[in-house]
Amino acid sequence: MSLPLHAVIMAGGSGTRFWPLSRARRPKQFLPIVGRKTMVEETVERLRPLIRAGRVYTIANADQTRTLRRLLPRVPAGNLLVEPAGRNTAPCLMLAMSRVFLRNPKAVVAALPADHLIRDAARFREKLEAAAEAALAGDHLITFGIPPTFPSTGYGYIHFEKERSIEAGGRVFYRVRAFKEKPPYDEALRFLAAGTFLWNSGIFLWRADVFARKLERHAPELYPFWTRMLKAAAKKSGKDMAAIFREIPAISIDYALMEKAEGVLMTEGDFGWSDVGAWSSLCDVWPRDGAGNAANGGLQALDARDCLVYNPKKLTALIGVKDLVVVDTADALLVCRKDHDQKVKDVVEALKKKGSLKYF
Amino acid sequence: MSLPLHAVIMAGGSGTRFWPLSRARRPKQFLPIVGRKTMVEETVERLRPLIRAGRVYTIANADQTRTLRRLLPRVPAGNLLVEPAGRNTAPCLMLAMSRVFLRNPKAVVAALPADHLIRDAARFREKLEAAAEAALAGDHLITFGIPPTFPSTGYGYIHFEKERSIEAGGRVFYRVRAFKEKPPYDEALRFLAAGTFLWNSGIFLWRADVFARKLERHAPELYPFWTRMLKAAAKKSGKDMAAIFREIPAISIDYALMEKAEGVLMTEGDFGWSDVGAWSSLCDVWPRDGAGNAANGGLQALDARDCLVYNPKKLTALIGVKDLVVVDTADALLVCRKDHDQKVKDVVEALKKKGSLKYF
C-alpha cells in the first residue's frame, strides 16, 4: 500500500491488576496472557501486514524500553522511544508524534495501547486502513468506538452523532459530540439505551501535521511544549526532553485534545476488542473445557466449573469450586472470586503498605 | 513409675487425603501438619514422660521404617519393626506383640496410630497410665472411646454398657457391648441420641500375655500365625515372617479380636483427640485470624473467611472467597471447597488412571 501509515505503541503501562503474574518490572504488556507471545509482541505482529517494522514506534520508560528491545528485535532501536517520566498520554503521544513529524509531517499515525486484545486482526487492519485513508485526505482526528456489550463503569464512552455520518474509503465515520469519563452505573445504563455511546478504545489515528495543528488550536497550554519537543527531537537531546517532561502537565490525550478539538470522527471498532482489564476477562479469551474451566497449565477438576487457572508449571486440582481465579507464580499465589478481581490491586496496595516489597 | 508400659506405634498408613502434600512416600504421619514436627514424632514425644524410648516400638513397611529411623533417633533401631506386607491391623499388631511378648510377657502395651492428634497430652498420659494399671491387674483388653461431637459416618463406634462400669486406679471403665462399623447417617444420629456410643479411636491397651490368650480363645484362625510369629521373632528371621505374612488373612484387630473377645473395657478418651482425617480438620487445630482463616505461610486476605491455607514458602492472597482449602506444593496445587475435602482421594485416583504418576 502507498499509505504512509505509522504506528505509535504506548507500552508504558504499569498496572497491578494481573498480580501476582504482573510485577512492577513486568506489567501486563509484557505478559503472554492472551497468546503464546507477550501482548506487546502480539500488538506489533497484528500490524505487520499493514505497517512494516521500520514505521513502528514504541514509547515507554527506560527500563521497559530495554525489555522492548529484546522483545521487538525487528523494530529499529531508534524507534523505541523513551519517555523521561510518566505524564499520562498527551505528553507521551506528543513526544512520539514529534519524532514522526520530523520524519514526515504527512505521516499518518495510529496510536495504540500495547496491552489490548484484538481477536479479529484482519478486520482490525481493514478498519485501520480505511481510517488512515480518511485521516490522510481530511482534517480529522479519528477514534475507534467499541460497541458496548454491558453498562460498564470501567470505560470511558464516546458520544457520537448518528445522523452526521460521513463516508471515506467506503467506510462510515461519525462525528463525535463528546467524550465521557467512566460513568456511574445509572448513566452507563442510559448510554446503552441511547445507542449513541460507544466505549472509548484509546486507539487514535491522525496525520502528524493535523495533530500539530489541532494542538495549536485546541490545546494552547500544551502547544509551547510541542514546539520545544520538536527542537529536542531534532537535536536528539534526551536532556532537553527530560527538562520538558519536568514541566509539562500530566494530562490525557482525551482530555487535552480529543474532547476539545473540532473534526473528531469515530469509526466502529468491531474487531473483537478487549482491554483485558483483569484476570476474569481472560475467561472469554482462553479455551474452556465442558465445565467452563479455562486453564493455562495441567488441570484436574472435580465438580468445579467456570474457573480460570494460570499455573503453567504445575498441576492444579480444583474440587467443588466455581467462579474462581487461581494464579500461581514462583513466590505468590492468588485465589480470588471472579467478580472480585478488581480488588487484586488493593491486595498489592496492602502489601506495599506492609513493606512486602518483594511481591511487586 | 514401675508400670512395664510399652508403646507400639502403627506407622504404616498410606492415605491420600492430604494430597498434594502427602504422597506415596510421604504419608500423613510423616507430615508436619499439626505442629512443627511430623505427626509420628509428636506421637512419640507425647509419650516420653510416661514411656522411655527403649520401650517404644514402631511398625511400618521397610521404606517407611527408613524414614522412622531418621525421625526417631532415640528409639533403638531394633524397635523399628518392619511388616513384610500390609495386612491390616491384626497381623501388624500381632507381629509387634510377638516381639514385646518375647521381651516380657507381662509387658503392658499401648497400641497407637502414628497419625492422630491429641491436644491434651497430659490428660492423655494420665488416662493411659490408669488404663495400664487396669490392664496390668486384670484380664482386660482396653479401648479408648471418643465422645462424639457430631453424627460422623466416617468413624466406627464403640457401644458400651453405661450401667456396668468398673473402677480401676481411680478411673471408670465400661464394659464394651459391641463394635460398630462406620454407620449410615441415620444410625449415627441414633448412636448420638442413645449416649452409649463413643467413637472408636483405634487406641488399644493390653498386657502381652492377655493379648496372646485372647487371641487363642477368640481368634482361632489367627492363633497358629501367632505361634509361628513367636518363633520367627525369636529367630529374628525376616524370611520366616515374610512367609507368614504371605499367608495370614488381612483383617483388622477390631474385627479379628476386639469384637469377639470377652472382657473388653472402654475408657473415655477425653483428651482432645482428632484423627485429622482430611485437610479441613486442621481448621480446628491451626490458629485462626479474626476472619477464621488459618494459614501455614504468609497470608493476605481481603473479604476472605474460614479458609485453610498450606503454602509455607510463598505468599497467598485470598480475595472474596470462603470455606476453601488451598494447598500449594512444589509440583501441585489444590483448591477445594472445605466440605468436599473427602474427594481429594478421588482426584488422586483420577490422576492414577491417567497415568500421571509423578503426582503421588
pLDDT digit string, tens, across residues A181-208: 999 999 999 999 999 999 999 999 999 9
Q: Is A54's pLDDT higher than 60?
A: yes
Are B40 and B59 in contact by the 8 Å Cβ rule? The answer is: no
pTM: 0.89
Which residues of B are less than 8 Å from A359 in CB distance? 315
Yes or no, beta carbons of A320 and B340 under 8 Å apart:
yes
Residue A308 has what DSSP assignment? E
Minimal C-alpha gap between B338 and chain A (Å): 9
A49, A54, A152, A206, B126 from A126: Cα distances, Å: 11, 20, 27, 16, 84
Yes or no, beta carbons of A315 and B335 under 8 Å apart:
no
Per-residue confidence band for B119, with pLDDT thresholds at 50, 70 and 90: very high
Residue A335 is nearest to which of B326, B331, B332, comparing CB atoms?
B326
**C-alpha span between A292 and B97 (Å, rounded):** 55
| Cis-peptide, bond into residue B287, ω within 30° of zero | no
Which grid coordinates belong to A141? 482526528
Q: Is B1's pLDDT higher than 80?
A: no
Yes or no, beta carbons of B333 and A321 under 8 Å apart:
no
Which residues of A are less than 8 Å from B352 in CB distance? none
pLDDT at position A128: 96
Average pLDDT, integer, range B124-146: 94
Minimal C-alpha gap between A151 and chain B (Å): 23
Residue of A303, A308, A316, A319 to mutate when probing chain B, most B C-beta within 10 A: A319
For residue A328, the surrounding DSSP H or E stretch is strand A324-328
**C-alpha span between A195 and B116 (Å, rounded):** 66
> What proportion of chain B, given as a percentage, has pLDDT over 90?
89
Average pLDDT, integer, range A227-235: 97
pLDDT at position B137: 87
Q: Write the pLDDT tens digit of every residue in A92-129.
A: 999 999 999 999 999 999 999 999 999 999 999 999 99
Minimal C-alpha gap between A31 and chain B (Å): 20
Which residues of B are less than 8 Å from A343 in CB distance? 302-303, 319-320
Which residues of B are less than 8 Å from A337 in CB distance? 319-321
Minimal C-alpha gap between A321 and chain B (Å): 6
Q: Which residues partner with A194 through β-bridges?
A: none
Which residues of B are less than 8 Å from A340 in CB distance? 302-303, 319-320
Average pLDDT, integer, range A64-73: 97
Helices (H), A10-145: 39-47, 62-71, 89-103, 121-137
ipTM of the complex: 0.89
Yes or no, beta carbons of A314 and B320 under 8 Å apart:
no
Residue B346 is nearest to which of A302, A311, A331, comparing CB atoms?
A302
Yes or no, beta carbons of A317 and B346 under 8 Å apart:
no
Per-residue confidence band for B186, with pLDDT thresholds at 50, 70 and 90: very high
Q: Which residues partner with A12 through β-bridges?
A: none
Nearest to A92 by CA among A111, A71, A66: A111
Residue of B319, B324, B349 to mutate when probing chain A, most A C-beta within 10 A: B319
**pLDDT mean across residues, chain A:** 94
Closest residue, chain B, to A20 (C-alpha): B317
Yes or no, beta carbons of B333 and A347 under 8 Å apart:
no
A121, A206, B311 from A50: Cα distances, Å: 11, 16, 48
Residue of B296, B314, B325, B333 to mutate when probing chain A, most A C-beta within 10 A: B333
Per-residue confidence band for A173, with pLDDT thresholds at 50, 70 and 90: very high
Minimal C-alpha gap between B308 and chain A (Å): 12
pLDDT at position A2: 67
pLDDT at position A209: 97
Average pLDDT, integer, range B51-63: 97
User: By CB neighbour count within 10 A (0-12 exposed, 13-18 middle, 19+ buried), where does B309 fall?
Assistant: buried
Average pLDDT, integer, range B76-89: 96
Q: Which residue has the higher pLDDT, A11 or A3?
A: A11
Residue A332 is nearest to which of B314, B330, B339, comparing CB atoms?
B314
Q: Number of Cβ pairs closer than 8 Å across A and B?
A: 123
Map out the domains of chain A with their CATH numbers: 5-274 (3.90.550.10), 279-359 (no CATH)
Q: Is B320's pLDDT higher than 90?
A: yes
Q: Write the pLDDT tens digit of every residue in B246-273.
A: 999 999 999 999 999 999 999 999 999 9
Yes or no, beta carbons of B315 and A326 under 8 Å apart:
no
**C-alpha span between B67 and B28 (Å, rounded):** 13
Yes or no, beta carbons of B351 and A300 under 8 Å apart:
yes
Q: Which residues partner with B309 through β-bridges?
A: B295, B326
Per-residue confidence band for A164, with pLDDT thresholds at 50, 70 and 90: confident
> What proportion of chain A, given as a percentage, has pLDDT over 70?
99
**C-alpha span between A303 and B268 (Å, rounded):** 39
Which residues of A are less than 8 Å from B351 in CB distance? 300, 315
CB pairs under 8 A, 24+ apart, for B215-221? B215/B94, B215/B257, B217/B261, B218/B257, B218/B260, B218/B261, B218/B262, B219/B90, B219/B256, B219/B257, B219/B260, B221/B249
Closest residue, chain B, to A317 (C-alpha): B334
How many other CB atoms sit within 10 Å of the CB of residue B239? 10
The CB-side HSE value for B324 (13 A sphere, CA atoms) comes to: 34
